[in-house]
Amino acid sequence: MSLRSSLRRKVLVFPFLGFYVKFFWGKSSSKYILELNGNRKALADESWSEIALSVKSVFGMLLVSRKGTSVSDGALISDYLRSRISKELENPCKCSAIEIIDIEFLSDPCFLLLEDHIVSIKSVLSEIILPVNSSHGDLHRDNFVVMDGELKVIDWAMYSARSSFLLDYLHFYCREICSIFKVSWVEAIWLSMPEWQKLSAEFDIPLDRLRLIYSLDRISLELGQDSGLLMLKPDKYRHVVGRLVGSICPPLEIVGF
């Protein structure tokens, strides 16, 4: 995280001896609570307990964790992700995407959506069946570390007890494409991603549906961290939602596009 980004988010991360210290200040108390509570829930969650790296609260707005090392062997992460996604193929607990993805934000006037658009999105989401479990929410390469020779995951501020690991899987490989091509996720979702295509075939979910559930979940999670983003980046969110609506509801005219 750059110093400029840290100052804007009011969160500063720095190494100290054999630890990482994350310092929150100002109006970032909600982020501090989200990360601390998310970590505690992950440690008590059998899906994550063995891989979650614990953090401890020190002196109020400080979180401290042991310092791991960056993952040099990408196969470690790939093997972990494939193992988890293979288990999801056998997961008997399933529900429709509309039950686990919060799309309340779509009612905001900034999206310029007709009520028919929102109804159509809800209808499509209700037809997409996902395996249900918990999710990390921001699973990418920098949130994996190696500790005592074992793979660990950090940064649990976006943890959700009722979600789907498929969304974590989609996010990881989307972020990989973002890093390669130096683009935002709103652009990366339209690029070719072999792992997304493989997931589409394995779970029998069309690629345009994967884009839809990933994008709506991503926006919901980002706004959950910082509701002001809708005012700071309205065009970013409005554009991707408008394009998604056009891809699933071609007969409808998209207002403002």
If you count them, how many residues does the chain have?
Answer: 257
Burial of 219 (0-12, 13-18, 19+ CB in 10 A): buried
CA distance 231 to 70: 35
Query: At 8, is the pLDDT very low, low, confident or very high (cuts 50, 70, 90)?
Result: low
Say what the alpha-carbon torsion angle 159, 160, 161, 162 is, to the nearest 10 degrees.
-150
CA distance 231 to 211: 23
pLDDT at 23: 92
pLDDT digits (tens, 9 = 90+) for 154-198: 999 999 999 999 999 999 999 999 999 999 999 999 999 999 999
Q: Are 38 and 157 in contact (CB under 8 A)?
A: yes
pLDDT at 112: 87
pLDDT at 7: 46
Q: Are 151 and 71 in contact (CB under 8 A)?
A: yes
Query: At 3, is the pLDDT very low, low, confident or very high (cuts 50, 70, 90)?
Result: very low
Query: At 27, is the pLDDT very low, low, confident or very high (cuts 50, 70, 90)?
Result: confident
**Other residues' Cβ atoms within 10 Å of the Cβ of residue 10:** 16
Structure tokens, 21:
């210290």
pLDDT at 254: 43
pLDDT digits (tens, 9 = 90+) for 199-221: 999 999 999 999 999 999 999 99
Lowest pLDDT segment from 9-13, 47-51, 62-66, 124-128:
9-13
pLDDT digits (tens, 9 = 90+) for 28-43: 788 899 999 999 999 9
Q: Are 67 and 15 in contact (CB under 8 A)?
A: yes
- With tokens 């440690």, the residue in question is 43
pLDDT at 5: 54
Average the pLDDT over 87-107 and give the result.
97
Residue 232 has pLDDT above 90, yes or no: no
